Amino acid sequence: MTWSAFAVNLAASAGAALAVMLGAFAIALRKGVHRIVDVAWGIAFTAVALVTWALSAGYGDTGRRFAVTVATCVWGLRLALHIARRARGQGEDPRYARMLARAPGSPAAYALRKVYLLQGALVWLVSLPVQAAAYLARGVDVLMVLGMVAWAAGVGFEAVGDHQLARFKADPANRGRIMDRGLWAWTRHPNYFGDFLVWWGLYLAACATWQTAALTLVSPLVMTGLLVWGSGKRLLEAHMADRPGYAAYKARTSGFLPRPPQRGPSRPVPR
């Protein structure tokens, strides 16, 4: 591990994440919709991975560098494209509308501080394992392989869950109903659980030395906190709480870690 080169990377990656978020902020002001920041989230991770790939040439093992770069870009771009397709033709996200309605002073300045700059900082922090792994000289090892297996399982879980939900919502017969089929019968949040696996997997790729393992542990812990107790599961379930049938779905379905669904009231069959 070349710590001086890694320090330069930390500064450059922060600049990359900031540039993506400021670009998204400018577009949001022009369109009048701040939900675009959710698309920028995945793009910012991709930008950090690509900057790290470029700067780590000659320092880290090529195989490890290539694996973490491709893994991060595949995850980030898939997520960005999925969110962009889902948001097409939609208005403002209710979360941001409520936040900005309570903003003290300028709503735009408040959004810049509380949404864009904060998410840029989180991208930088969560991506620490990707940055550190690229500077490790050790070749592919057991932890690296396990990490990539966890990453692949996470991306697959997330992508399948998103596809199942999109198909469910596209059927007019399901209007007003709770999605409780496929992976959604095993966990109420397949997409968040997939993200959880992705970032713990990428963390394992940075565990070739105890120093990098200790330095980057904060990243999957922060991502887990966001998914379970922060802006992920907690806020979504508060939004869904009053939906007809959601209480029964919540009672029979795991809140995060997948498990076989418990028996519950039968779902009415559409006619």
Model confidence pLDDT, tens digit, residues 39-68: 999 999 999 999 999 999 989 999 999 999
* CB within 8 Å of 25: residues ≥ 6 apart: 37, 111, 112, 116
Half-sphere exposure of 229 (CA within 13 A, CB side): 4
Model confidence pLDDT, tens digit, residues 137-174: 999 999 999 999 999 999 999 999 999 999 999 999 98
Predicted pLDDT at 270: 34
CA angle (156, 194, 171) in 5-degree steps: 70
What mean pLDDT comes out for the span 244-257? 90
Half-sphere exposure of 190 (CA within 13 A, CB side): 21
pTM of structure: 0.91
Question: Domain residue spans in the chain?
Answer: 3-252
Q: Give the confidence band of 264 by pLDDT, cuts at 50, 70, 90.
A: low
